[in-house]
């Protein structure tokens, strides 16, 4: 039995964004316990040429809201990329989850062969729906969630695989 585009995406994105929110809670608690300004962790990165934690969370959320909106044929919500605190990142995740949950299965199922075209800066992309979901949205989403996890773990936040995968 083949899994539908909706079932392969929205429930998993929601679960992983919830896990990311829980990981960020542990990061915030760690900062408070160690008397570290939370902005230090939110602004930290793994390497100089990588985005900081805040941008990793923003991009993970953007993959879900923009990607699923393209598949559903609706306008995604616009979020300003100004988050600089754990609370602001939590708010962005919550808004992304709410948007994802507002998408109905009928809006996404049947989009396997839908043409998806978009540009990022000077790069132009063309996909069909199934390829877009499985070869673009999901890998990018997991990359940025994993990198956010790794930034916090690298800084000593006591999180592990169970936190990443959730309950």
Q: Which residues on neighbouring strands pair with residue 115, listed in sequence order?
A: 128
In this predicted structure, what is the pLDDT of residue 1? 62
Contact 133, 71 (CB under 8 A): yes
Each residue's pLDDT tens digit in the chain (167 positions)? 689 999 999 999 999 999 999 999 999 999 999 999 999 999 999 999 999 999 999 999 999 999 999 999 999 999 999 999 999 999 999 999 999 999 999 999 999 999 999 999 999 999 999 999 999 999 999 999 999 999 999 999 999 999 999 97
Residue 29, Cβ neighbours under 10 Å: how many? 14
Residues 6+ away with beta carbon under 8 Å from 57: 20, 24, 83, 89, 92, 93, 144, 148
Which pTM value belongs to this model?
0.96
């Amino acid at each position: 039995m083949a899994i539908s585009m909706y079932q392969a995406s929205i429930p998993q994105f929601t679960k992983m964004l919830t896990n990311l929110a829980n990981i960020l809670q542990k990061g915030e608690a760690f900062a408070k316990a160690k008397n570290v300004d939370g902005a230090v962790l939110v602004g930290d990165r793994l390497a100089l040429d990588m985005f900081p934690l805040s941008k990793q969370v923003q991009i993970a959320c953007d993959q879900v809201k923009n990607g699923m909106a393209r598949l559903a044929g609706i306008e995604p919500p616009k979020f300003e990329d100004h988050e600089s605190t754990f609370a602001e990142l939590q708010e962005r995740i919550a808004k992304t989850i709410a948007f994802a949950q507002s998408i109905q299965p009928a809006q996404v199922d049947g989009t396997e062969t839908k043409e998806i075209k978009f540009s990022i800066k000077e790069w132009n992309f063309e996909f069909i729906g199934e390829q877009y979901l499985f070869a673009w949205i999901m890998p990018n989403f997991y990359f940025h969630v994993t990198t956010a996890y790794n930034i916090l773990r690298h800084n000593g936040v006591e999180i592990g695989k169970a936190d990443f995968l959730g309950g």
